[in-house]
Amino acid sequence: MNEKELKKLIGRYYDGESTEEEDKTLRDYFRGKKDIPDGYEAEKVIFSYYDDSQEIPEPSHGFEAQIMAAVDASEKKNKSQRIKRYLIPLLSAAAGLLILAGSYFFFVSSHRSVDTFSDPEIAYAETIKILREVSVQLNYGAQVLEPIGKINEMTKKSFETINNSTRIVEKNLKNLDDLKMVTDINHASQDKNVHK
């Protein structure tokens, strides 16, 4: 077969207009040829694939059903793994919470307060005694802090005196600045008169 006929047959093949005989001719041509014209290497691969694919046997009866059964089994396995992946940590967390709650109620119920006085009048008297002791201690603490309050007052008065002194100094400095400005103006006017 010459290159012109080969080009025509390949064109018909790609256009989908070739007959079975023409397809067989192309397969035979590319099967037997070792040296093919340049530019037809891809077609050699295509037609040699057809030869190789003819050697693959047809699937047995029920092959599709076997594939579908395998897919279903895989999905069930994945679903059970997903459930285990979420269920185990959830159950672990729930068990931890139950242990914490149980421990709390155990310790709370075992440490109930016990009445130390059976007579309410004695309990009242003891409460008053304790409150008085606390009051005395607080009053003593307040008395100890009294000199600190006086120190704060003296510090405040000292700062007020210093602030007053600072205001006076600032006022005098401003007056000095005004005086300097006036003298500078006088000197400038005297310099102008001298230069004229």
Encoded tokens for 61: 């009866």
Does 78 reside within a domain? no
Which phi and psi (to 5°) does residue 33 adopt? -85, 135
The answer to whether residue 108 is domain-embedded is no
Task: Report yes or no: 43 and 10 within 8 Å, Cβ to Cβ.
Answer: yes
Show Cβ contacts of residue 6 under 8 Å, excluding neighbours closer than 6 positions: 29, 37, 40
How distant, in Å, are the alpha carbons of 23, 46, 48, 88, 144 from that of 19?
6, 17, 18, 64, 118
What burial class does residue 93 get, using C-beta atoms within 10 Å of its C-beta: 0-12 exposed, 13-18 middle, 19+ buried?
A: exposed
Tokens of 75: 């999905």
Report the pLDDT value the prediction gives residue 195, as an integer from 0 to 100.
67
Strongest mean pLDDT among 23-27, 55-59, 94-98? 94-98
Measured between alpha carbons, how far is 75 from 96 in angstroms, rounded to an integer?
A: 32
CA 160/CA 166 separation, integer angstroms: 10
Mean pLDDT score, 79-107: 84
26 located within any domain? yes
Supply the DSSP string of 44-80, one letter for each residue.
Answer: HHHHHHHHHHTTSPPPPTTHHHHHHHHHHHHHHHHHH
Reported confidence tier of residue 27, pLDDT bands at 50, 70, 90: confident
Domain of 42?
3-59
25 occurs within a structural domain: yes
Q: How does residue 50 score in pLDDT terms, banded at 50, 70 and 90?
A: low
Inside any domain, residue 180: yes
- 7-11, 57-61, 97-101 — most confident range: 97-101
The count of structural domains within the chain is 2
Task: Note whether residue 131 is domain-resident.
Answer: yes
Domain termination residue (choose one: 59, 87, 104): 59
Name the pLDDT band for 132 (thresholds 50, 70, 90).
very high
Q: Do residues 194 and 123 both lie within one domain? A: yes
Report yes or no on 85 lying in a domain.
no
Answer whether residue 161 is part of any domain: yes
pTM: 0.28
Residue 52 has pLDDT above 60, yes or no: no
